[in-house]
Amino acid sequence: MTSVIELEQLSVTFGTRPILKSLSGALNGRAIGLLGPNGAGKTSLIHTLLGFHPPTSGTARIFGQDITKDAKLVRQTIGYMPESDSFIAKMSCVHFVRLMAELSGIPAKHALERAHEALFYVGLGEARYRPIDSYSLGMKQLAKLAQAIVHGPKLIILDEPTNGLDPPTRSRMIALIRQIRDGGRARILLSSHLLRDVEECCDEILVLKDGQIAANCNLEEERKANRKFIELETRGGNRQAFVEAVGNLGCEYALSGERRMKLIMNETVEINDLYRLAFDHEVQIRRLNFKRDSLEDIFLKAMENGGDASREIEIADVRG
């Protein structure tokens, strides 16, 4: 199966400064999150995929098309929503989006119709004839999304799509991204410094650190593989027998004082099993905190272990 994005020893150098360092890997998610601290190389990778920066060595392919040898075909395949505004002064939104459709290869007689459709889709139908200069920040972000999807691309690159948005507009943007993802007509590459955006939209992540791949994992598989971490506070009953019974279920545990314990449940154990054992040993469970490793946990672990493209994401077995 052809990968959405395939990186093959991709390196980019500005002057004598290496920006991207031999990136290799295949990305196949419906929505791919691109993460990393400032200066990690996220924007440079996006610009290289778009053809703005030629690779110093190596290459990348998008749906099998080489970004250097098939640059024109690649650009026709991609829709790009930049982080910075790139509008034409005094132009109405519908005419701007129509222009972007024409530049993407849509015949002029169809471009205006497609522009109307895209603007109604993102919720700007009533304001489409207004100059973009008069738009709020949220409306400008939606206009950028409209021009990115107007030509029906196979891959949509979104660079900080929720940056600066108020909560209602952010929710609208996230909902649109998820609709596009679930529609199956286009794949998404979402670059954001907001982990929450990536966690809500993406099923795969690529984490960069210092121009190298710190992590590349399928979020859905990672979430399924993560072990369940529980903190318990108990009262009364035969605590020692309860603890031993929990251990017999195959759970790793650590005691903290006379009332608290931390444990990691394996995949065959559920919360109800703990309550059943507590009942059997007349132990009261007064407090129970249940969580799985979040994207933040995965990201922070990648930052600790970053710089090794072959390293698997490791989930800490026990937390402090």
Question: Which class is domain 5-223?
Answer: alpha beta
What DSSP designation does 292 have?
-
Q: H or E element: which one contains 96?
A: helix 93-103
Dihedrals phi, psi of 161, to nearest 5 degrees:
-65, -25
Strand partners, 155: 78, 187
- Say how far apart CA 31 and CA 149 lie, in whole Å: 15
| DSSP codes, 126-137 | GGTTSBGGG--H
Question: Which regions of the chain are under pLDDT 70?
Answer: 223-227, 290-294, 306-320
The answer to whether the 5-223 and 227-291 domains have the same CATH topology is no
> For the chain, what are the domain ranges?
5-223, 227-291
Tell me the CATH number of domain 227-291, given options 3.90.1150.170, 3.30.70.2470, 3.20.20.220, 3.40.1180.10. Answer: 3.30.70.2470
pTM of the model: 0.78
What is the Cα–Cα distance from 243 to 103, expressed in whole angstroms?
A: 67
Six token digits for residue 110: 């169809």
Q: How many angstroms separate the CA atoms of 141 and 163, rounded? A: 9
pLDDT of residue 48: 97
**Rounded distance between C-alpha atoms, residue 6 and residue 67, angstroms:** 10
Please report the pLDDT score of residue 227 as a whole number: 60
Q: How far apart are CA 31 and CA 220, in angstroms?
A: 11
Q: Report the chain's C-alpha Rg in angstroms.
A: 24
List, as own/partner pairs, every contact residues 173-181 make where C-beta atoms lie below 8 angstroms and the sequence separation is at least 24, other chains included: 173/141, 173/142, 173/145, 174/200, 174/201, 176/121, 176/122, 176/142, 176/145, 177/31, 177/201, 180/149, 180/156, 181/30, 181/31
